[in-house]
Structure 1
Amino acid sequence: MKTLENEPDPRFTLANERTFLTWLSTSLALSAGGVAMAAVSADVFVPWMRTVLAVILVSLSALSAAMAYPRWRLIQRALRRAAPLPPPALAPLFGYGVAAVAVLALVLILFRR
């Protein structure tokens, strides 16, 4: 029985799988960063700012983990249909989110009490 979809080159499928695993690795790193930020002592950052930074990092972690499989599935479907790949819609959110955390942490480090 022949399907309408073609099997993509295995290299593309494996590259898509590696990207999926990278999204999960990124999620784990963001989660670890959020936990570490929450555990920073009170004399380094003001407590409410530590909480804000930790919540942003853990939220980005959850979003990354939650969107990894749907993104993999969309790309795999596009590969099978020889269609254009969907744009990385969440990439700007992660880039700007991590940059915002880094800038806020830098400001807090430079202007500690």
Structure 2
Amino acid sequence: MDARPDERFTMASERTFLAWIRTALGLLVAGVAVIHIVPDFSTIHIRSALGFALVALGCLAALGGYRRWVAVDRAMRTGSDMPGSAHLLIVTTVVTAVGVATLTAILVDLATS
């Protein structure tokens, strides 16, 4: 059974997808900024690792948002259960890890200066 879902739910799903895209763009910009805009922060290796992690997470967020939108759309059209959202744990874990690494780098910089 492939029914047409209520437009309100379709639009809500699209808004959620767009929120994932905004998050992905923010992560991409943050990754580039860490590498290129704050050259005095820590070492080039630390900046590169943090920037790489943020850009990779931005890519993951964009792909995960799209996959979720497709799965929710399919569930609404077929009347099946709504999908889970496992990539939320991944995004949360990586953002937390980048935050802890950044705090560590800040503390190391403060201790050595």
TM (norm. structure 2) is 0.89
1:58 aligns with 2:55: yes
Q: For 2:104 and 2:4, locate their aligned partners in 1 and report how far apart those are by CA, in whole Å.
A: 50
- Alignment partner of 1:48 out of 37, 45, 48: 45
Task: Report the identity percentage.
Answer: 39
Moved more, 5-14 or 63-72: 63-72
Task: Report the alpha carbon displacement of residue 69 of structure 1 after superposing the two structures with TM.
Answer: 2.2
- Alignment partner of 1:105 out of 92, 99, 102: 102
Q: For 1:30 and 1:100, locate their aligned partners in 2 and report how far apart those are by CA, in whole Å.
A: 14
Q: For 2:46 and 2:82, locate their aligned partners in 1 and report how far apart those are by CA, in whole Å.
A: 39
Paired residue total = 109
Structure 1 runs of 4+ off > 4 angstroms? none
Judging by fraction of residues, say which structure has more helix: 2
Instruction: For residue 82 of structure 2, give the secondary structure of its aligned residue in structure 1.
Output: coil
TM (norm. structure 1) is 0.89
Given residue 28 of structure 1, which amino acid in structure 2 is its aligned partner?
Answer: L
Q: For 2:76 and 2:6, locate their aligned partners in 1 and report how far apart those are by CA, in whole Å.
A: 9
